[in-house]
Amino acid sequence: MQVVEKSQEMKIFVDKWRYKQAFMETHKKLKVSKMRKRNFRKMEALIAFKNWAGLNA
């Protein structure tokens, strides 16, 4: 997420497809209900990324 935010600040083109593929490989099975408090911030970042990349389902 930090890369995405920085690129948006600097108005640099970001390849959403590349980030989308990396996201899908590593986070396919994450569920909000199973997250603990320590992982809540990570889940918030993942939701923000999903919204940015257009992965809303």
Segment 2-53, tens digit of pLDDT: 776 777 787 766 667 777 777 777 766 665 555 566 677 777 888 888 888 8
* Alpha carbons 22 and 12: distance in angstroms, whole number: 19
* Alpha carbons 38 and 53: distance in angstroms, whole number: 24
Burial class (CB in 10 A: 0-12, 13-18, 19+), 35: middle
Whether the predicted model's global pTM rises above the 0.85 cut = no
> How many domains, the chain?
1
Amino acid at 27: H
> Is the confidence at residue 57, as pLDDT, over 70?
no
Query: In which domain, by residue range, is 7 found?
Result: 2-53
